Amino acid sequence: MGIRWKGKGAEAKALADPMSKIVSQLKCSLIEYDSRGLLSGFSVLIEANEEQTGLFNRTCFGRRNITTEKDKQWFQLSMEEAFYLSYMLKCIKVVGEDNCPTNDDELWKYAISKRNNFPNLFKAYSHLRMKNWVVRAGSQYGVDFVAYPHHPTLVHSEYAVLILSVEDDNSNGRLRVWLDFHCTLRLCGSVAKTLLVLHIDKNCSAATSPSCLESCLVEERTVTRWNPEQSRENQTTVQKEPSN
């Protein structure tokens, strides 16, 4: 469908301020202040100063929690976002209920205990984030994630992302029959998004630690409805001969 920018000048703003640059600034700031997040169910709460608040907003990591404090704000990170910042970018530490930092293996096992398909979700999330896509929850569209080329204030989301696993034999039951494809594609079409299916192949590696991510493969497939108008060799309209 192509990138749909929001308003005049949105594309220029995005090009002048690439997402990779903003994420790098956030990473440096979090490392400088030795930032720590607090486990809270299946999310992580992290305190942010004024500079970090702006960077969190610009990179679309987490959701801001409104507080009465002027100098400090709190952001609620999803488990995928928190683990990405902790494991992939190495810029935050996550603290458990005992107020002690958790290592990568402990946080990984905790996440799986809360949601057994976390390895697939995180692999898909990190796969897109490493390509500088802005990744947000997609539950309102019936998918796992939605992917934006840049900040949502500048551009509409381009992809509705579904995650399927080879080893789990598509245990979530989605897209098993053609009716599922048609329903999902119609929904994506109605909101002007392309369906992106990510097939996660763990290569038979047990997901007991985050090191299994190195052997995981991600296969990308975009699925669109067939448009007969785009498949004709001759686009001219056939004129009927007038009857005598």
* pLDDT (0 to 100) of residue 230: 62
- Percentage above 70 pLDDT, the chain: 88
State the virtual CA torsion across 134, 43, 75, 191 in degrees, nearest 10.
Answer: 40
- Per residue in 28-77, pLDDT (tens digit) is 999 999 999 999 999 999 999 999 999 999 999 999 987 777 777 999 99
- Per residue in 111-140, pLDDT (tens digit) is 999 999 999 999 999 999 999 999 999 999
Q: Of these residues, 123, 127, 151, 193, which one is catalytic?
A: 193
Packing angle of the helix pair 118-129, 104-114 (nearest 10 deg) = 120
**φ, ψ for residue 63, nearest 5 deg:** -125, 135
**Among this protein's residues, is 8 annotated catalytic?**
no
What are the tokens at 172?
């979530």
Q: Which residues contact 70 (CB under 8 A, 6 or more apart)?
A: none
DSSP the chain: ----B-STTHHHHHHHS-HHHHHHHHHHHHHHTT-EEEEETTEEEEEE-HHHHHHHHHHT-SEEEP-S-SS-EEEEEEHHHHHIIIIIS---EEE-TTS-B--HHHHHHHHHHH-TTHHHHHHHHHHHHTTT-EEEE-GGGTSSEEEESS-TTTB---EEEEEEETTTTSTT-TT-SHHHHHHHHHHHHHTT-EEEEEEEE-TT--TTSGGGGGG-EEEEEEE----GGGS-S--SPPPPPPP-
pTM of the shown model: 0.88
How far apart CA 155 and CA 193 sit, in angstroms, is 12
Q: Of these residues, 148, 150, 159, 202, which one is catalytic?
A: 148
- Per residue in 74-110, pLDDT (tens digit) is 999 999 999 999 999 999 999 998 888 999 999 999 9
Contact assessment for residue 116 and residue 126, using Cβ atoms and an 8 Å cutoff: no
**Among this protein's residues, is 199 annotated catalytic?**
no
How far apart CA 123 and CA 119 sit, in angstroms, is 6
Contact assessment for residue 22 and residue 58, using Cβ atoms and an 8 Å cutoff: yes
How far apart CA 56 and CA 73 sit, in angstroms, is 11
**Among this protein's residues, is 193 annotated catalytic?**
yes
How far apart CA 125 and CA 119 sit, in angstroms, is 10
Q: Of these residues, 6, 13, 93, 156, which one is catalytic?
A: 156
- Per residue in 162-220, pLDDT (tens digit) is 999 876 655 556 777 777 878 888 889 889 999 999 999 988 678 889 999 999 999 99
Q: What angle do CA 190, 196, 198 make, to 5 degrees?
A: 150
